[in-house]
A = this chain, B = another copy of it.
Amino acid sequence: MTDDTTPRERRAKRTRKAILDTAMQLIVEKGPDKLSLREVARRIDYSPAGLYEYFGSKDELVEAACSEADRRLGIYLNGVDPALPPGDYLVELGLAYVRFARENPEHFLFLFGNREANFEHMLPLEDDFQTDEDWGKHDPNFALLISAVQRAIDADVIQTRAGFDTLEIAYTVWALAHGMASLQARYMPHLRLNYAATDRHAMRIMIAGLGHTLPE
């Protein structure tokens, strides 16, 4: 089970994880911009310079924390039962997305509240061949959404039309889920409403609406 890693590699991996963990904790506590390398070093009994053996810069560390948050979001999404009917599956996918934001608001806000840093690692620089959904090649979460939408289309649960195909539909349901997630992550304590029920209702309205054919 244990990889054929040398003790050195195992140690390095462990301290790297320690750095990343305290960094994420610090980010949750005070926000990403207030993250201090020196504070991280202090908490794990390292010298500030010592961190540079594991992360080339503060930005690189933040980027790693970003990827980690993205990975955790993926856990929520993959927890949805893929055996559900295509329509229900899309609904639950959106609700899982929102639930991640509700249960980890700091992670969510930080994941999507970062200037450009994010998604540079999952997007090849300057690739013009973004015709369809080779996005998924670099972002497994987005790939999951695309395939779910495609399945709903194939099952005739969702209707396409000219200029409103798989990509546009995926964007639409992502937008709804992302909007609810963002609003909750920010204004949860202020806006008093039954989020779980409201989200499900909203999601159902959207999926159902994508199944009808709108006039004009």
**Residue ranges of A at the interface with B (Cβ–Cβ < 8 Å):** 31-33, 109, 112-113, 115, 119, 123, 130-131, 135, 163-164, 167-168, 171-172, 174-180, 182-183, 186-187, 190-194, 197-198, 201-202, 204-206, 208-210, 212, 214
Contact = CB atoms under 8 A, between A and B. Distances in A.
A193 B208 CA distance: 23
Given A175-B179, A175-B202, A197 B163 contact: yes
Nearest to A194: B163
20 contacts: A33-B115, A119-B190, A123-B190, A130-B191, A131-B192, A163-B197, A163-B198, A168-B194, A172-B205, A174-B179, A175-B182, A176-B176, A178-B178, A178-B183, A179-B179, A179-B180, A204-B214, A205-B209, A206-B206, A208-B212
B194 A205 contact: no
A214 B208 contact: yes
A182 B112 contact: yes
A38 to B, nearest CB: 17
B205 A210 contact: yes
A178 B182 CA distance: 8
Contacts of A176: 175-176, 179, 206
Nearest to A204: B214
A198 B135 contact: no
Given A198-B164, A205-B206, A210-B205, A183 B190 contact: no
A42 B66 CA distance: 33
A112 B206 CA distance: 24
Given A178-B183, A197-B163, A202 B172 contact: yes
